[in-house]
A = this chain, B = another copy of it.
Amino acid sequence: MPILKSVNSLRTILKKENPSSVIIVSSKAVIEKLNWAIKEMGLSRFNIIEIPDGEAAKEWPEAEKIIKKFTDYNLDRNGLVIALGGGTVGDVVGFVASIYLRGVKYVQIPTTLLAQVDSAHGGKTAVDFLGYKNQVGTFYLPIATIIDSRFMKSLPEEQIINGLGEIIKSGLIKDSSILSLLKNETVSGLSESKKLESIIEKTIKAKQYYVNKDYKDIGVRQILNFGHTLGHSIELKYGVGHGRAVIMGMLQELKIAEKLKLTPPSVRDCLETTLESLGIKIDDQMKAEYESILHDKKVDGGQIFLPVISKVGKSRLVKLNIHKIKTIMPTLVS
């Protein structure tokens, strides 16, 4: 699955695929702001399906509405679907593309930093079902993913931090050169930085490394969950953004691993230095709930697989008894 660098390159895809019809699925906010991108695709005829902004787009009834519109527009097996938007757009469009007529071709054009470095890659599609997040989904790859850095220019800072959570994570678990590139960068300056393209590329490469080894996420791919087990708990409890939650999750998971003598303190030092130089201030009073860990998919028979960093850029999965974590949890927030 090729990764292309400009919306312009969709023309090459269209020439090669010669689809019977093209449908763009996007959210209201994206369509208003990024109309230039749709123009640049060079489509002579296409339909647009507008879905809600944000997490609302990922509800099961929304997926149903999209399928209804695919049917209304007579989308057939030779058609092409384009997902233009952030992670929620990519998740739900990937899902409907994977089940409509047992799968039609689609292209991912992620427009947020988080989607560009993380959710648009690896083939996981998802919708929420009756309030359960990602309860339904498939593994289904787009025929191409377009990472256009021009989308980054208009992103608010909180969106940049959402992406930075995953970028920093990739530096810690797999590729320390990502952290070197972040030196001298700031949250507010990153979207204009000359290094951004290279940072995004390396982050995608780190993710692909694990995805290629374990596409169905039953083994080593779970290292990508570093910071997320505790992070999701914080995200739900305090309603902070995904990026900040993952950063806090990483800090607290590192503390746990330190107490178990699995990680040297130098890793957390490195993370804290990175956060400071980027200008990300973290509230260290937000505490993950032990109970929420119990419901985590990575818990099996009282055991949890915790991603553990042995040194910056090097990690492995360690099987732990969850009760060991229970005794450490209260000491995490000083």
Contacts and interface: CB of A to CB of B under 8 A. Distances in A.
A294 to B, nearest CB: 12
B102 A139 contact: yes
A34 B72 CA distance: 41
Interface string A111-146: 000000000000011100110101111110000000
A70 to B, nearest CB: 9
B71 A132 contact: yes
Interface stretch (A25-33, A60-68, A164-172): A60-68
A308 B64 CA distance: 39
Contacts of A100: 135-136
In order of increasing CB-CB distance, the 3 nearest A-B pairs are: A102-B137, A99-B136, A99-B138
B77 A102 contact: no
Interface in A90-115: 95, 98-103
A317 to B, nearest CB: 16
Size category of the binding interface on chain A: 20 to 34
Given A67-B135, A71-B129, A102-B138, 19 more contacts: A60-B64, A67-B136, A68-B129, A71-B135, A76-B297, A95-B99, A98-B138, A99-B138, A100-B136, A101-B135, A101-B137, A102-B124, A102-B134, A102-B137, A102-B139, A102-B217, A103-B138, A103-B139, A138-B138
Nearest to A77: B297
Contacts of A137: 99, 101-102
Nearest to A140: B138
Interface string A289-308: 00000000100100000000
A78 interface: yes
A248 B99 CA distance: 31
A130 B297 contact: no
A71 B125 CA distance: 18
Contacts of A300: 78
A1 to B, nearest CB: 16
A99 B99 contact: yes
A208 to B, nearest CB: 19
